[in-house]
Amino acid sequence: GAVVSQHPSRVICKSGTSVKIECRSLDFQATTMFWYRQFPKKSLMLMATSNEGSKATYEQGVEKDKFLINHASLTLSTLTVTSAHPEDSSFYICSADWGVQETQYFGPGTRLLVL
């Protein structure tokens, strides 16, 4: 299967600051990557679809000005949580499709804690 990495694995920040999370496809190119969010004891929820070279597509209820997505290359997508607040504390996970069957593979996740 494919390998997707994320950095950092966990981050603690103060309320009002911005945090950038990186998602990389390590051994393949991904024109599309996906960002999910998972609150404790809940399922993953799709936040947005990141498209290389174009604007991201956001799910209903996700603020595009708060969650900035940049997909500047075929192996890197970034999610920036701007002006983070405690309610943004969550587990953020990215994924990408790989292979002829376009199976979706996930990164290890980034745990964000906003104080």
Cα torsion through 70, 62, 49, 111, rounded to 10: 70
According to DSSP, the residues that pair with 33 across neighbouring strands are 50, 96
37 in contact with other proteins (CB under 8 A): no
1 in contact with other proteins (CB under 8 A): yes
The residue among 48 and 83 lying less far from other proteins, judged by its C-beta, is 48
- Which phi-psi region, left, alpha or beta, contains residue 74 (left: φ > 0; alpha: ψ -120 to 50)? alpha
The residue among 65 and 101 lying less far from other proteins, judged by its C-beta, is 101
Per CB under 8 A, residues contacting other proteins are: 1, 4, 6, 31-32, 34, 36, 43-46, 49, 59, 91, 93, 95, 97, 101-109, 111
